[in-house]
Amino acid sequence: MLLEVEGLCVNYGHIEAIRDISFGVPEGTVTTLIGANGAGKTTTLKTVSGLRKVRAGTIRFEGKDITAMSPYDRVKLGISQSPEGRGCFVGMTVRENLDMGAFLRKDRKTAAYREDIDRVFTLFPRLQEREKQTAGSMSGGEQQMLAIGRALMARPRLVLLDEPSMGLAPKLIQQIFSIITEINEQGTTVLLVEQNAAQALKRSHEAHILETGEIVRSGTGAELAGDDAVKAAYLGGDV
């Protein structure tokens, strides 16, 4: 198991945001967390990446306890995040944003680094077209591509994607999800938080449903997509 979360509890002040959740992310998979707004999905990702303190529980990456580890050190281990809201550096160019994603790397003048830039541009040709354009002048969809590309520049073993389809047009949503599948097929494990449950489950090996800070259902993406109760609650009655 690449990532193991066990008995995780996280508070915002006196409010319990996550209550005793446990799940794993097998290496090589797309694992998805779905649920309504406020269910604790984004908090879970932020806690895995080290941006939220743990009240109780354990997080392990490749068997190593990282519960108290800094976000910086988690990136060094191989965990990278594309945050909700994209978080692009709006005054910087596309290339500068991608370079920021690789801030820990010492190989920026090597062929390996150029190969990773080329990989991002192959996944997202629009970014190559906009390489010298500032992120703030780009569309929401282009910024989402940039946020994912920036996360990949850290060469992560595990990439955390938080609501990658939020605010995008239907055609672009399909494109983003196809690229997520491609990223996974290229060898990167994905932990995905997504409101578009139908698209997410279609591409997930494993999935978990959160309600008010607790995991209430788990299964393969196909199992949850085919469950009548899940369909009614999250998929508009159908996939």
Location of each CATH 3.40.50.300 domain in the chain: 1-78+160-239
Section 79-103 average pLDDT? 93
Tokens 């997520």 correspond to 180
**Which phi and psi angles does 61 have, rounded to 5°?**
-125, 120
In the predicted structure, residue 236 carries a pLDDT above the cut 80: no
Query: Is the domain 1-78+160-239 a CATH 1.20.1290.10 member?
Result: no
Task: Give residue-wise pLDDT tens across range 48-67.
Answer: 999 999 999 999 999 999 99
What does the pLDDT read at residue 106?
A: 86
Task: Provide the pairing of β-strand 189-193 with 158-162.
Answer: parallel
pLDDT grade, residue 11 (50/70/90)? very high
pLDDT grade, residue 107 (50/70/90)? confident
pLDDT grade, residue 47 (50/70/90)? very high
Euclidean distance between CA atoms 222 and 90, whole angstroms = 38
Euclidean distance between CA atoms 239 and 34, whole angstroms = 14
What's the burial of 67, exposed, middle or buried (CB within 10 Å: 0-12/13-18/19+)?
Answer: middle
Section 91-109 average pLDDT? 92
Q: What one-character-per-residue DSSP string does 52-92 give?
A: S--SEEEEEETTEE-TT--HHHHHHHTEEEE-TT----TTS
Task: Give residue-wise pLDDT tens across range 164-210.
Answer: 998 888 888 999 999 999 999 999 999 999 989 999 999 999 999 99
In the predicted structure, residue 239 carries a pLDDT above the cut 50: no
Euclidean distance between CA atoms 184 and 53, whole angstroms = 28
Host H or E run for residue 30: strand 30-34
- Give the C-alpha distances (Å, rounded to integers) separating 196 from 59, 75, 167, 179, 239: 26, 27, 11, 15, 10
First to last CA, the chain: 29
**Of residues 77, 71, 13, the one with CA closest to residue 45:** 71
- What proportion of the chain, given as a percentage, has pLDDT over 90? 84
